[in-house]
Amino acid sequence: MPAPPTVPPPGIPAAPPGAPEGTCWHRNISPAVIETVTEQVIVRPAERDAAGNILKPATFRTVTRQDIIRPRSDSWIETPCPEQMTPGFIASVQRALAARGYYQGPITGRMDASTRISLRRYQKEAGLDSSALSLDTARQLGLIAVIQ
């Protein structure tokens, strides 16, 4: 039987270095954004006669390069622990997202694809591009107490 998705494969850390004992984390890897640029570069200019008429047209070569617009990023997100992610809690996440206009599906209590998409849209507006529920987001939604 495969390991649950919250358990990292052997050799992959489950939490960032120095994370407090008993906390749960998700490793968020955002891929690099790469732009492909194609341009025509002149190899030989056109040959013209004294009157300016073209005797031989210019020749060009196509050059393609890739530019990294945003490098790959690797970050850690503190999350509610698996034992907190009960169907009742996930239903509360769905209701909270629905109340804010991000979730339109049925309240199922399952962290399904439509819930993850809604969660990603909500968190992306706050600068976190992830479909894993962050502890900060759970607090903003009023689902987990804010400890001071």
> Nearest to residue 89, comparing CAs of 64, 115, 50, 125?
115
> Nearest to residue 58, comparing CAs of 47, 74, 72?
47
Question: Phi and psi at residue 97, in whole multiples of 5°?
Answer: -70, -40
pLDDT tens readout for residues 66-95: 999 999 988 999 999 999 999 999 999 999
Return the H-helix or E-strand segment holding 44: strand 33-44
Question: Phi and psi at residue 31, in whole multiples of 5°?
Answer: -70, 160
pLDDT tens for the chain, 148 residues long, are 433 444 555 666 788 999 999 899 999 888 899 999 999 999 999 999 999 999 999 999 999 999 999 999 889 999 999 999 999 999 999 999 999 999 999 999 999 999 999 999 999 998 898 999 999 999 999 998 766 5
Q: Quick one: pLDDT at residue 137? A: 96
pLDDT tens readout for residues 112-123: 999 999 999 999
pTM greater than the 0.85 cutoff? no
Q: Quick one: pLDDT at residue 70? A: 92
